[in-house]
Amino acid sequence: MTYPVNLSLSEAARRIAAGRLTAEALVSACLEKIQALEPEIRAWAHVDAKAALLRARQCDQQSARGGVHGIPFGAKDNIDSFDMPTEHGSIVYEGHRPAADASCVALARERGAILLGKTTTSEFAHVTPGATANPRDPARIPGISSSGSAAAVAAYMVPVAIGTQTGGSIIRPASYCGVIGYKATYGDFSLSGVKENTGSLDTLGFFVRDISDVAVFRAAMLGTQPTTCAEVSLADLRIGFCRTPFWDQAEDSLRSQLETAVSHLSSGKARVRDITLGEDAVQFVEALRSISAFEFSRALAHERIHHGNRLSAALRSGRMHDGLNCSYEKYVEACGIAEKFRGDLDCMSADCDVLVTPACTGEAPVGPPAKESPVFNTIWTGSHRPAVSLPVFAGPSGLPMGLQVVGHRHQDEKLIECAAAILRALG
């Protein structure tokens, strides 16, 4: 018999619905895994074992209400929960108890999912990391800022965990930890109850270990009925290979494996063409830096004004400083550059179902502290497109590296179908 924590979300839900697994047994197995590994991995800011087991027993006495009934999940600690602390990775909010769940947590719970706890985040989902280690190699970083969510899923502590992305905070940790990371189209998931970082870029998503789980948990977070994704033939795919202007920043091993993978997809009858981004993409990324700095410094105005001495030096001297020194006129100009690029990119890639590109620059660096780069994520986050990281590559040290598949805005289901076809083809 497969140990419960090894089951995918979808398989565990099917077994619970069929009476072949109890929610209590699944939650108990997850708690045992957390107890065994948490001293080293430190993926959790808070776990409420007693409440989770109580809720699991209640689920076992009820009829299944959806595809996530009885499924335990984690939520990044910048996402509100009424019955657990939400501390945003900062001493400023130590012990903070929100009055209500964030919409994504409330909707998942409404479908019978069980919030196991809050996963570690960097300070206000910015650059100062939490204590989480990479389960693949604890000497390495798991990736900020959704570090605890990625690590918890990679370590089989939970089958799914919610994260947020403003730059590369879902796709990059997924790549480093060797799991599937999904970032939705900007605006698809409600951000009510999620601590703002950069309002025009912040996007919700989550981590799973099986591509079939993406559509299931996406439906729960949207509050819609689950749909069955079609099985797309590789021969029906139109793929754009986008190296981006930052291709030389990827490690040699990643560049080589990605080009081999694209060649394999092409030989499998997928229609592949290059998508070349020029200087306008570099200007777009620069514009996003101004937008992010301006909005971030204002989103955290209360914390800066009333708790400035309790914020990390990296937060105060970096993006917050830049934002406070960014004029409104420069911000408006940057917004115009960003909006134009989004439209141009839509036209340039209109004949492609998806784009493929690196999910990161390479293997997870040794740390902390370690320098992380969102260079292969920022364009797609800023263009408001959905993306999936698939764990199909391995670096020189045998650690995972992700292939990023990028879809069109509000075509997330199509993205999931295409990503599944690519994953089948690459293994």
Radius of gyration of the CA atoms of the chain, in A:
20
- Find the helix packing angle between 212-222 and 412-426, rounded to 10°: 160
3-state secondary structure labels for all residues of 315-383: HHHCHHHHHHCCCHHHHHHHHHHHHHHHHHHHHHCCCCCEEEEECCCCCCCECCCCCCCCCCCHHHHHC
The DSSP bridge partners found for residue 74 are 117, 161
Same domain, yes or no, for 251 and 182? yes
| Strand (E) or helix (H) holding 391 | strand 387-394
The pTM (predicted TM-score) of the whole model is: 0.98
Same domain, yes or no, for 104 and 242? yes
Per-residue pLDDT of the chain (427 residues; tens, 9 = 90+): 579 999 999 999 999 999 999 999 999 999 999 999 999 999 999 999 999 999 999 999 998 877 999 999 999 999 999 999 999 999 999 999 999 999 999 999 999 999 999 999 999 999 999 999 999 999 999 999 999 999 999 999 999 999 999 999 999 999 999 999 999 999 999 999 999 999 999 999 999 999 999 999 999 999 998 888 889 999 999 999 999 999 999 999 999 999 999 999 999 999 999 999 999 999 999 999 999 999 999 999 999 999 999 999 999 999 999 999 999 999 999 999 999 999 999 999 999 999 999 999 999 999 888 889 999 999 999 999 999 999 999 999 999 999 999 999 999 999 999 999 999 999 8
- Burial code (b: 16+ CB inside 10 Å, e: under 16) for 372-387 equals bbbbbbbbbbbbbbbb
Q: How far apart are CA 321 and CA 314, in angstroms?
A: 10
Same domain, yes or no, for 210 and 264? yes
- Provide the residue range defining the domain that includes 373: 1-275+349-427
Residue 268: phi and psi, rounded to 5, are -85, 15
Same domain, yes or no, for 264 and 138? yes
Residues in the chain, overall count: 427
The tokens of 85 are what?
Answer: 């602390």
Q: How many CA atoms lie within 13 A of 49 on its CB side?
A: 11
Q: How far apart are CA 86 and CA 265, in angstroms?
A: 44
**Which of 341, 360, 382 is at the close of a domain?**
341
Same domain, yes or no, for 104 and 158? yes
Same domain, yes or no, for 226 and 265? yes
Same domain, yes or no, for 154 and 226? yes
**Which of 341, 364, 380 is at the close of a domain?**
341
Query: What are the catalytic residues?
Result: 76, 145, 169
Same domain, yes or no, for 306 and 386? no
Domain CATH number, residue 239: 3.90.1300.10
Same domain, yes or no, for 192 and 284? no
Helix (H, G, I), strand (E, B) or coil at 161: strand
Same domain, yes or no, for 244 and 268? yes
**Which of 341, 373, 393 is at the close of a domain?**
341
Same domain, yes or no, for 163 and 310? no
Same domain, yes or no, for 269 and 284? no
Q: How many domains does the chain have?
A: 2
